[in-house]
Structure 1
């Protein structure tokens, strides 16, 4: 007896269509209800929100916990960064403490030598920079002090920290200052701590080069440059700047003076040092030895008194 083979009836497709249709209908109905501008509908919407939203706290709990965890991690990262910053500041403070101790020791030594006589003539006159009288080939400024203030050619000028230049041209009420960067500027300097003597040569650039070094290998970037006082051009010990290397590996000086803000300058009253050309009384003249202190052989050769 033949058996009838009927294909299985597939209910999935109709059920899927029914569910999709019902979902679209519910969404459309919700959209229409939410768009209807009516007091009753508004009350209905408020009732639905009051009924449904408070019951969704359990669903939002994981999100809330996750947000709290993220905020706690951010707070921990911020505390870690602050801790590291405090550690760095503590290391800097330890270094500053050591520097302060060294300075205190140096100050104590200087106080012990407070009887050292300083040059009373090394005073200063402050002046206001009137204008920049420079050019691409000459760099200088004008001051509102001159011969009436006792200004003399060749005196050094400084800003609040470093050497700026020298007086070159004095009028009755004004004076011109040739800057260290000018091409005609040549000043002898000393490089510390090596003690190397050199010449700072202006070349119309912001960082003049250092020339005539005896041992350039002993000079390092960051070394301190001060005026040497050789030749009596400038007083010794005036801060000039620090050594640096340019892109051509040439030694230059980063000037300590702020050339971008030259508003006030100090003119140092310096006077040439007294030249000692002859020996003083501290050097005793040669005295011939006495005969009674000579050996017997030399005493016999000495002429006796009364020989004729």
Structure 2
């Protein structure tokens, strides 16, 4: 039997993005403690692996890899993600996996996560993570990693699961944006996260979600690119681009207001490595460039 959750929408969400923005700016959209590292799939960059290790506390920090989204019958330490962590210096990496929520609700299963300083969700189909772990002691233990200042990270499906709305969560195929699983683990609140966005030409797919839930923030991350989040600050870290769907527009160009833009409900824009975004205000954090004297 599949474990399935359905979205609980706030009043602010139903009243539109302006009301939502004023409400959520009073709290943190990302984790109050700890960090998220949201990767758009095909993670090859040692720089990103090293960032995850550093945010967990360094090479000695215990890390847990969750491969459940992949759908294979069993997993072991031969996972490429485990090899990548170890190649980049991590000395304490454990694979934790089940498809059975009854097992995921046991103290024996959850014990390695209770000791972990970092969690990494591998790619595959994100609904498998929901079916296995939602509502169990394991899901609570994932959240506790953040609460004690650790890092939750993931690539592809492991990126999307971090949003409150589960993009591409349909069991039939990965092209249905609003599927039969619509609730993620919610480490990034009031947000939907897509991945592989530029490589697979997914630029417009997010609008399927935003048409149904216009108060959500849409975030789409390209392959081998990371978005690092703490509290209300999100920074593009390494790789290519992250797309932001907030109804607004931002550009480095002067006089960008002269552009012939589509209506707010059809807009998105790109952020590149080093760019920062305020998740509470839903605005790009603009840093004054130093001028030479």
Which TM-score band (shorter chain)?
A: under 0.3
Structure showing greater Rg: 1
Q: Which has the higher helix share?
A: 1
> Larger relative contact order (C-alpha < 8 A, sep ≥ 6)?
2
